[in-house]
Amino acid sequence: MEPVTALIVAACSGARLGGGMPKQYRVLGGKPLLRHAVEGMLRHPRVGHVVAVIGAGQQPLADASLDGLDVVTVIGGQERADSVRAGLAVVPQGIVLVHDAARPFCPPEVIDRLLRSLEGADGAVPVLPVADTLATGDRELRGTVDRANLVRVQTPQAFHLDDLRFAIDEAGTRLATDESSVMQVAGLKVATVAGSEMLSKVTTEDDWNRMERIVASRLVTRTGLGFDVHAFGGPGPLIMGGISIDHPQGLAGHSDADVVLHSITDALLGAAAKGDIGQHFPPSDPQWKGASSDRFLAHAAQLIRGKGGIIDHVDCTVICEAPKIGPHRSAMRMRVAEILKVSVGQVSIKATTTERLGFTGRGEGIAAQAVATIRMEPD
């Protein structure tokens, strides 16, 4: 069985969509568009390698977008032909699937159809019928166009590697908007298979909004609970909610003993079914001694985003007699929101007492409980 490599073209500037960066790096449903496209290829059992062709100066964005994925990145050129050539230069022998990063969702059955069709052709592309009436004209219609034999050509497009290299060399500057056109210019046979509306390309803000609705429909709401306790020990200040609070006593713990951040961290890990804070940052490990707990909370948030999850809301209740939380509530909310990279409106900090009952009532320590609501794709 021939090896299959996915070559994802992501070298465009993407300026037309806006957003302050190339569209392939804009975050859609918790993940950059490019990561969606790459993961779709990596999930297919026949795809053994993925090569992403990026634009000059985009390496930091690509590295952040593809963190943790087994992907080779290559710098492309000004034209699509240059980018495809650069990508093909690092592709091993076999079959290549040329795909656009602007098409984030590729159903695996489309890849199956392409690979089967390629057994009897030099190339294969997914297509959809044209449903709308086509006409010529600008401000005034000049006449309709027969759509009987018209189709919408999508990507990924599948080719035998040697055939595609030959076609690109033959076509030269005649390279059109996609590789199937090049194959035809070179006299090679390109078969068609049924495409999918899921392969629609993101070009406009309306396209982006439609993709966001698709992502939202895949996500399920998950809730996690967190609880943490630390005894008072040693002189102040007190670290809580990511801020320093003037208090005669601090809290004792292996790290900075921030009960608020610890409880929220456990709530997020629980919502994502990723264990608890002790598994990720064991107190037996000396590297976490005195560590700032914002690192723990940021880690939990990144785990969720790395799985395409979205943090919707966190709510923490602090249980203590002193200090009073009210004067520090706003600062704590802002700091937690900053660490999680969410809006302040998505963070709630409350406080209560135990009416002087129990260890918190006796002023021996502070407890905090938290609940987190996230959305993630089901495992």
- Binding site, residues? 228-230, 254-255, 262, 276-278, 352-355, 359, 362
Query: What are the b/e assignments for 328-339, b being 16+ CB within 10 Å?
Result: bbeebbebbbeb
**From CA 220, how far away is CA 255, in angstroms rounded?**
33
**Which residue, 297, 298, 295, is CA-closest to 287?**
295
Pairwise CA distance, residues 188 & 158, whole Å: 13
Amino acid at 8: I
Place of tokens 């320590």: 365
- Cα(20)–Cα(317) distance, integer angstroms: 37
Binding-site residues for a divalent metal cation, in ranges, read 228, 230, 262
Q: Are 53 and 67 in contact (CB under 8 A)?
A: no
CA within 13 Å, CB half, 334? 5
Strand partners, 222: 374
Q: How far, in Å, CA of 366 to CA of 230, rounded?
A: 6
The β-bridge partners of 254 are: none
Three-state SS at 17: helix
Q: Which residue has the tokens 């918190």?
A: 360
Write the DSSP assignment of 308-337 as a string of letters. Answer: T-EEEEEEEEEE-SSS-SGGGHHHHHHHHH
| Residue 164 Cα to chain centre, angstroms | 31
Phi and psi for 332 in degrees, rounded to 5?
-65, -45
Distance CA(158)–CA(115), nearest Å, equals 7
Cα atoms found within 13 Å of the Cα of residue 175, Cβ hemisphere only: 18
Residue 243 phi/psi, 5-degree rounding, is -125, 165
Strand, coil or helix: 150? coil
CA dist., res. 244 & res. 261, Å (int): 13
Q: Is 206 left (phi over 0), alpha (psi -120 to 50) or beta?
A: alpha
